Amino acid sequence: MKADKILYNLEEVFSPKDLGRPLRGKEMNEADILKNAYIAIKDGKILQIGQGDAYKSLQDEHTKMVDLKGCVATPGLIDAHTHLVYGGSRENEFAMKLNGMKYLDILAAGGGILSTLKATKEASFETLYDKTRNLVEQFMIHGVTAVEAKSGYGIELDTEVKELEVIKKINEDLKVELVPTFMAAHVIAEKYKDDPDKYVDIVIDMMPKIKEKGLAEFCDVFCEKDVFTAEQSKRILEEARKNGFKLRIHSDEIADIGGTKVASELKVRSAEHLMVISDESIKALAENNVIGNLLPGTTFSLMEDTYAPARKMLENGMAITLCTDSNPGSCPTANLQFIMQLGCFALKLTPIEVFNAVTINAAYSIDRAKTMGSFEEGKAANISVFEAKNLDYLLYFFATNLCKKVYIDGELVVD
């Protein structure tokens, strides 16, 4: 007989609060941590979570019991910032970086994102699909159930569309949820180097075409020294809003050129990176309810020592998430657990702040909080199970994949 309900018994369950908006400031250090806990699901949705023997009242002859004692569970982890779809790889830059060459200097010399553009243009749809699918499966093996995924290694319409179609097809083929972002404004195409505003016009021209095909939900811009100015970024995002995109911006990653001010003015969903953010911008993001998507793996991988000032952000009432930034140049990884550990080791966040960042707050950042990010009754039964006796251990024992099982909509997708 088919089980009607499934009951998972666990050592410890992390249960974030869903206040109907992202958790801000001190709220990020609050959650229910249930020891000797259970999660009950029905029809792929959360039915109830609780502690001790209370699950017995839910038990009947159609209930399946799953013993996960010795394990901890969290809502399926969510990565709210990645650049997943690209041709080739960039380990050739490693020696240059180890010798002290800077990310923007490699880009200015025609390497960096520019070299990935070429490899992505040359790659067939099938090649890109297989490569990206493998990467997404790696994310899932590490406990991730939803991922924001940007285009931006195409920059010409055809290749942008190819990247976004890869995202769409993987979304259809795997249980994981991919949330697509159009990011043709990732770098200025070389042929427009002397007339960057012309390229801005081209990006704007692509927007209705991408929307018509239903290929992207968000639009993002790399607002950075030698890439897009604050003024150009603002223009792109305003046009994107008119075209029905939700907005994000890469700002204050390497230089503060005003991108985070644009984020506050336009009240975008999230501002990303924020490694060199000013005190004034922190206050403005908090006041305008812009989520800070922090990417400590990028600081680590670029071998910089300026991490985003996460503690100061929380003291000022900001909402933050932690994301991989997975990409071939500034953060080649598929391990969100390691990024969460950097949240503690480098950003000095508490474990509760870290778990809130990659569950409920990340769900708000990708606009999926109605269906995921916490264990409220009726949300999707997305559950990540880790081989750890408690949540602290999962962050303390670093750089090792402790994920044991992943369920999406109640279906076991990693075992």
Chain residues binding Fe ion by CB under 5 A are: 325
Residue number, 160 or 253, with CB nearest to ligand NIG: 253
If one asks whether residue 148 binds ligand NIG (CB under 6 A), the answer comes out as no
Residue 180's binding partner out of Fe ion, ligand NIG, none, with CB under 5 to 8 Å set by partner kind: none
Q: 89: how many CB neighbours lie within 10 A of its CB? A: 14
- Site residues for ligand NIG, window 110-139 (CB under 6 A)? 112-113, 116
CB of 141 to ligand NIG, least distance (A): 23
| Cβ neighbours, 10 Å, residue 29 | 14
Which residue lies nearer to ligand NIG by CB, 112 or 259?
Answer: 112
Q: Is 330 in the site for ligand NIG (CB under 6 A)?
A: yes
Helix 230-242 to helix 196-212 angle (10° resolution) is: 20
Edge-to-edge, what's the strand order for the sheet holding 45-51?
A: 45-51, 32-42, 5-15, 63-75, 383-386, 403-408, 411-414
Q: Which does 374 bind (CB under 5 to 8 A by kind): ligand NIG, Fe ion, none?
A: none
Query: Phi/psi at 303 (nearest 5 deg)?
Result: 60, 40
Distance between CA atoms of 353 and 342, rounded to whole angstroms? 12
Site string for ligand NIG, 76-115 (x = CB under 6 A): -------x----------------------------xx--
Question: What is the number of residues in the chain?
Answer: 415
Nearest residue to 19 via CA among 289, 288, 281: 289
**Closer residue to ligand NIG (CB): 343 or 351:** 343
- Distance, CA of 148 to CA of 323 (rounded, Å): 9
Cα(112)–Cα(368) distance, rounded to whole angstroms? 32
Q: Considering only residues 186-245, where is the footprint of ligand NIG by CB under 6 A?
A: 222
Q: Which of 108, 107, 124 is nearest to 116 (CA)?
A: 107
The interface partner of residue 251, options being ligand NIG, Fe ion, none and the CB cut-off 5 to 8 Å by kind, is: none
Stretch that binds ligand NIG, among 23-31, 238-246, 323-331, 406-414 (CB under 6 A): 323-331
Closest distance of CB 402 from ligand NIG, Å: 26
Nearer to ligand NIG, 251 or 356 (CB): 251
* In the complex, minimum distance from the CB of residue 83 to Fe ion, in angstroms, rounded to a whole number: 6
Minimum separation from the CB atom of position 133 to ligand NIG (A): 19
Q: Which does 222 bind (CB under 5 to 8 A by kind): ligand NIG, Fe ion, none?
A: ligand NIG
Longest dimension (CA), the chain: 72
Residue 116 binding partner per list Fe ion, ligand NIG, none, with a CB distance cut-off of 5 to 8 Å that depends on partner kind: ligand NIG
Residue by residue, DSSP assigns 149-206 as EE--S--SHHHHHHHHHHHHHHHHHSSSEEEEEEEEETS--GGGTT-HHHHHHHHHHH
Show contacts with ligand NIG in window 263-302 (CB under 6 A).
298
Strand, helix or coil at 20?
Answer: coil
Applying CB under 6 A, which part among 64-72, 139-147, 327-335, 381-389 lies near ligand NIG? Answer: 327-335
CB 256 within 8 A of CB 277: yes
Name the residue whose CB lies closest to Fe ion.
Answer: 325
Instruction: Show the beta-strand stretches assigned E in 236-373.
Output: 246-251, 270-273, 291-294, 320-322
We find the least distance from the C-beta atom of residue 380 to ligand NIG, in angstroms, to be 28
What is the closest distance, in whole angstroms, from the C-beta atom of residue 323 to Fe ion in the complex?
8
Residues that bind ligand NIG (CB under 6 A): 83, 112-113, 116, 222, 250, 253, 298, 325, 327-330
